[in-house]
């Protein structure tokens, strides 16, 4: 018994020490403006509680029991100003949650974290208004995660919840809200409970509202946000016990660092990847990004040393393509001819042919295209050459080349390769102004998708076609095709395949400029990783369309730290490209 008590006292002391070691002052300073005191009134009494703002347009989370049945509600901010509550958007009596809509714009707000990742013993802090003492901060730990008989969960915390604290945000060390303080057991000593943040997300998803808004840190630049996201991502990855998953996460982090030009840092991370396959893929993508940055020699040196042959060939084909875009056609062709894998070599030759055509060397471009062994690549190259011919006003020759591309495409036996080839041809026709021919070719592509037996691949193919149709400015037909893609996806029985299909559909919608619709699709994806991937693609499309601020807001909605880092990297790249474009126009 003495040994047990001694061990218990040591454990409690260590927890207390860990709790005392956390300095919450910086976090509290940032988050306090988004925490409010809720006052609700009816003819009989006045109820006071706490809440927190989760969107710049004034959506507030609090407890259901604080506002239930009250016709008049006010929210008092930390600076003493009041927000008028226009109404209750949604409520969940079972989880004691309510979402209020306040009047206001450009309000500070906080970000919802993933309560399923909460660990017993981790430090937390609560900001609320107990007994009308606004801005009261209390710290503690997660002492338990309790599962109720009906499947709901509660977080048991040691931070006190007094009268008036109901609805207070429970923060983790990253400044994410992981719970909503709800009640305390008066019979027990310091037994306090909070509703998990994922219950708030579920309530918001029913409304189709983005559930992880941008945290109130307007002083942070995009680069500072990226560095902060890197620290979170690397910490999350290194904390994974599963070695293959850890390798996969580190691969994604290395690729994100390369995207923003931090190649040395990216290579250091890549070398730490334990799984050989993931390490090869990371080096492949790093070398491609190096080439895009103009570091051709360094990219080639590293690519030649990639262990996995498939990844090595992939890297070389992409580097050859980048070098061709830079106008170094002979060097690009030499690299392509040395690629032993036929499909990779074929793709490289097709891209090089298209690059040669864009500078007006049509005969040479056609010669190179005919060397492309894979029909999909050869037909795509011919389509792009035809587009370049049309741009040079050589319409007769352009039409002949389009017809040749179609002949090659229609002989492709694999339905997936055939639809891909036809989409490229149709898009090229549309850019060349041949709308009637483009429309007919899109119809052929749609027919090809009907022969794809796998529902996930079929829905993804439809999404790609819809985005291409939208780019061709056929909005009505694009919407019909997107709707068809969604119908196919919703019938997919396997949840993971369904989520993957929805990710592609959301990305295609965003690429077509349908951002709100894409966000609605993303919000309906229940799997956190797949939803994060969809949001990343939407953020990238927004950034490429010049909507940088909105892209950052969407990136900060992402639950997965590594995916959030990738999204911010995409935004930084888009912002730099836009800056270069503006400088060029000047």
Residue 126: strand pairing partners: 138, 170
Task: Please identify which of the residues 96, 114, 311, 570 carries the catalytic annotation.
Answer: 96
Phi, psi for residue 321 in degrees, rounded to 5: -65, -40
- Among the options 55, 65, 143, 252, which is catalytic? 65
Q: Are 96 and 182 in contact, with CB atoms under 8 Å apart?
A: yes
d(CA 59, CA 49): 16
Q: How many CA atoms lie within 13 A of 558 on its CB side?
A: 29
Q: Whole-angstrom Cα distance, residue 514 to residue 493?
A: 27
- Residue matched to tokens 């980048």: 322
Residue 377 designated active-site:
no
Q: What is the largest CA-CA distance in the chain?
A: 96
Catalytic residue among 129, 165, 166, 532: 166
Please choose, from the candidates 567, 572, 565, 570, the residue with its C-alpha nearest in 3D space to the C-alpha of residue 249.
565
Among 228, 218, 226, smallest CA distance to 262 is for 226
65 is catalytic: yes
Residue from 112, 107, 159, 157 nearest 136 by CA: 159
CA distance 543 to 570: 8
Query: Would you call 96 a catalytic residue per the annotation?
Result: yes
Element holding 297 (H helix, E strand): helix 296-303
| CA–CA gap between residue 179 and residue 116 (Å, rounded) | 11
Q: In whole angstroms, what is the distance from residue 113 CA to residue 121 CA? A: 17
Segment (H or E) for 101 = strand 97-102
Token pair of 90, please? Answer: 């949604």
**How many residues would you count in the chain?**
586
- Residue 162 near residue 131, CB atoms below 8 Å: yes
Helix (H, G, I), strand (E, B) or coil at 278: helix
Which residues participate in catalysis according to the annotation? 65, 96, 166
């Amino acid at each position: 018994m003495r040994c047990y008590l001694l061990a218990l006292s040591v454990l409690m002391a260590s927890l207390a020490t860990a709790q005392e070691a956390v300095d919450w002052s910086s976090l509290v300073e940032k988050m306090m403006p988004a925490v409010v005191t809720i006052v609700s009134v009816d003819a009989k009494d006045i109820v006071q509680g706490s809440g927190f703002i989760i969107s710049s347009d004034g959506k507030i989370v609090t407890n259901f029991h604080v506002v239930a049945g009250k016709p008049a509600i006010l929210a008092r901010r930390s600076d003493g100003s009041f927000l008028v509550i226009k109404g209750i958007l949604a409520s969940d009596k079972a989880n004691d949650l309510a979402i209020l809509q306040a009047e206001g714009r450009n309000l500070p707000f906080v970000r919802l974290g993933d309560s399923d990742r909460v660990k017993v013993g981790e430090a937390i802090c609560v900001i609320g208004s107990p007994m009308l003492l606004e801005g009261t901060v209390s710290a503690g730990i997660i002492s338990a995660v309790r599962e109720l008989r009906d499947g709901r969960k509660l977080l048991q915390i040691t931070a006190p919840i007094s009268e008036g604290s109901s609805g207070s945000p429970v923060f983790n060390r990253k400044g994410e809200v992981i719970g909503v303080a709800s009640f305390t057991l008066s019979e027990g000593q310091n037994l306090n409970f909070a509703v998990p943040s994922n219950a708030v997300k579920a309530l918001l998803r029913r409304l189709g509202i983005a559930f992880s808004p941008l945290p109130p840190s307007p002083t942070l630049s995009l680069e500072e946000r990226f560095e902060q996201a890197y620290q979170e991502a690397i910490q999350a990855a290194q904390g994974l016990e599963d070695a293959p998953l850890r390798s996969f996460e580190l691969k994604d982090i290395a690729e994100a660092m390369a995207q923003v030009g931090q190649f040395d840092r990216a290579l250091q991370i890549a070398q730490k990847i334990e799984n050989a396959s993931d390490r090869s893929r990371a080096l492949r993508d790093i070398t491609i990004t190096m080439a895009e940055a103009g570091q051709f020699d360094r990219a080639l040196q590293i690519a030649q040393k990639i262990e996995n042959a498939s990844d090595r060939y992939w890297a070389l084909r992409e580097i050859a393509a980048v070098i061709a875009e830079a106008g170094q056609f002979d060097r690009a062709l030499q690299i392509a001819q040395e690629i032993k894998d036929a499909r990779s070599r074929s793709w490289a030759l097709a891209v090089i042919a298209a690059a040669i055509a864009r500078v007006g060397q049509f005969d040479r471009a056609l010669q190179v295209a005919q060397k492309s062994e894979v029909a999909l690549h050869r037909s795509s190259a011919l389509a792009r050459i035809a587009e370049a011919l049309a741009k040079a006003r050589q319409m007769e020759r352009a039409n002949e080349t389009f017809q040749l591309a179609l002949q090659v495409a229609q002989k492709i036996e694999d339905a997936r390769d055939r639809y891909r080839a036809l989409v490229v041809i149709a898009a090229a026709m549309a850019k060349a102004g041949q709308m009637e021919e483009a429309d007919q070719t899109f119809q052929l592509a749609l027919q090809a998708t009907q022969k794809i037996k796998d529902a996930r691949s079929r829905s993804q193919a439809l999404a790609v076609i819809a985005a291409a149709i939208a780019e061709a400015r056929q909005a009505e037909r694009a919407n019909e095709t997107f709707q068809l893609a969604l119908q196919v996806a919703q019938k997919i029985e396997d949840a993971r395949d369904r989520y993957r299909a929805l990710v592609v559909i959301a990305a295609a919608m965003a690429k077509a400029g349908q951002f709100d619709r894409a966000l609605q699709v993303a919000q309906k994806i229940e799997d956190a990783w797949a939803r994060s991937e969809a949001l990343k693609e939407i953020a990238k499309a927004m950034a490429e369309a010049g909507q940088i601020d909105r892209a950052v807001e969407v990136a900060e909605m992402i639950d997965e730290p590594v995916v959030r880092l990738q999204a911010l990297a995409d935004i930084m790249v888009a912002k730099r490209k836009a800056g270069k474009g503006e400088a060029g126009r000047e």
